[in-house]
Structure 1
Amino acid sequence: MSSYRLIGLLVALISLDMVAQVPIYDEAKHYQLRSMETGPWEFSPRSWYYSWWSKDMKVLWWKWSQKLPGLGIHDNGPAGLGGADHYVSRYSPNQTRRVLMLAQAKMVKKQTQKVEDRIKEVQKRETVSIADRSLDVVWEDYTPSFAKLEIIYTRRLGEYRKAFGRNEAYRAIQLEHQKIFDAVNYMRKNYVTNIDRKKVYSQQLNKFEQLIQKMNLSIKMHLSYQELKSICKTS
């Protein structure tokens, strides 16, 4: 008999433990907490809080909602006869709070969207800038002109050396030529925009043309002097 009692006690303890682990829904606390946060200003049990409350009724196949008198402890008293504190109708901070929260959320969303738009615009400009700086797309337009002037320069340099020798002016011409191509190569390798590259290429191309013009002028003056000298000798 004692063994049956022991088994019964164990079953009872296990049942109590299982019941303790089952979550219990408290409707009154649910409504109160929801009202304190952002939910509707609503309380339960309705028959306790409100002067009048609606109850769903059912008889056979008919269903309807029946309005019944309540105690109205925090409303307008039993059946609205008075004597309560009117709490449920007088105070509804959740509505004001909800409006403020929605307004604040809308403002934050608008500000966040503006920040995101600015970031995207900056990213777009940076992407274009990186692509522009990484790829030299203007040198190809200047390559034929520099190549043509280089051929002319090489010929004129030989004529200049033949006329004047490797004097100080000859070395100055070579140094100027080297500076021109150093500037070009620097822009080709440097991380700059194509507008800056184009500006430098144009400047150095003009300098190259001027250098060849100076060489041509010196050579022509030398040839004219030699011709005049020859004429003087024969006369």
Structure 2
Amino acid sequence: MLKKMKITIISNLIVRVFMIAFAVIFPASVYAISSSSWNTPCGSGNYAGTSYLSTPCSSSYNCCIAPNKPAVKKVQPAAVKKQIKKVTVAKKPVIVKKVSTYNISANYNDIHFPFNSAILTSKDIAILHRDAEYLKHNKNVVVQIQGNCDRRGSEVYNMALGWRRANIAKSYLEKLGINGNRLKTISFGKEKPLCTAHTLACYAINRRDHFVVVSK
């Protein structure tokens, strides 16, 4: 009888030592074992903020094992896309000085034509290039191109010839970039001669396009 009691006591001690060692090695588990009775029922509890209902162990003794510490999910921050700002470099404004010294209406800036012709000469083209530069730098200026003829020929013929001479100058200035709305044309035929002498030199002076600034 004493031998059986010793065996029982030793067995109980071994079990207690084993349970204590297990609790030390695995602190995450909680064992609820009654000191007076091994039949203490399992209950509920709270571990690391998590409520649980314990379940009996698979051994012959009833014990309560707390659930393992819940795994914390690592939330990866969303990838932040670097926003590349477009850097725009402001262009410096081009300052154009007005050509105030150029007199487009001066008689020496008239263009002249051969007899019975509306063809531009090289000298005429050079003058029209200067006129175009003046008009580009003075964008509010509107010019009237007046076509003229010498006194020879009929009024009807010279009126038509004056129109052709005015329009050929306008077309060339438009090719140089001048808006046609700024170029008005008119023909005076032989009505407004600049020179009244009956000489070939005087006739050559009257075969011309004259430029007049009509608005600024």
TM over 0.5: no
TM-score (norm 1): 0.22
Higher strand share: 2
